[in-house]
Amino acid sequence: MAAVVLRTHRKPAGIPVFPPHADPGGDCVLSRVMAEEPWRAELAWPAGFEGGLAHRLDVSTSGAVAVAADPDQLAWLRARFTAKELRKTYLLWAAKEVSWSEHRCDRPLAHDRKHRGRMVVQRGPNTPHRGRWMAASTSFRRVQGRLWRAEIRTGVTHQIRLHAAFVGIPILGDRRYGGGATPPDAPRGTDFFLHHAGFEGPDVTTRPVADPEWITRAAQS
């Protein structure tokens, strides 16, 4: 049986997936999807997945956002996320060069004890943190130059950003996790360079979206 190919919306860097709390009417992926397909407002989507949007991306992260056809397909898809059956692929531009070309990081992550909105990696049994440690695993493979492919099955907040920094390839422009300042010629809305290419599982895949223009520059850096 052929895999289900999910509809995707190409999220540009600089806008959130859902409306920001400070501006409920602001530009976001949800408002764009609803403008294209207003019939979605008539369906009973669960809270946090309005419009059938199946997952979130950081504001600065561009790429594919999966859009479920109906609430049943959304529940089916979310079950696969929960079971860690989906391999999610990202592309990143590293701020630093390293000698190796493959790495895997399995360090658990937790919320920073002092700084809201920041995560920490477990460096040892006494690493300060808040709440529980969450299992996370990220595989990194060099594509070319400082362009890297990251693959995950878990989905902890800031997972790729933090694991990339921990192994020595912080994402360019990610000040929070050691990636330095955003280059002055960065595309509009881009603070750091991370792109979600999509995901796939044994019976599902996402429709591909176009890569951002910085991909070529990263491969040549």
What positions carry a catalytic annotation?
58
Burial class of 146 by CB neighbour count within 10 A (0 to 12, 13 to 18, 19+): buried
b/e sequence 184-211, b meaning 16+ C-beta within 10 Å: eebeeebbbbbbbbbbbbeebbbeebee
Write out the E strands in the chain: 4-11, 62-67, 87-93, 102-105, 109-111, 119-121, 130-134, 138-144, 147-152, 194-201, 204-206
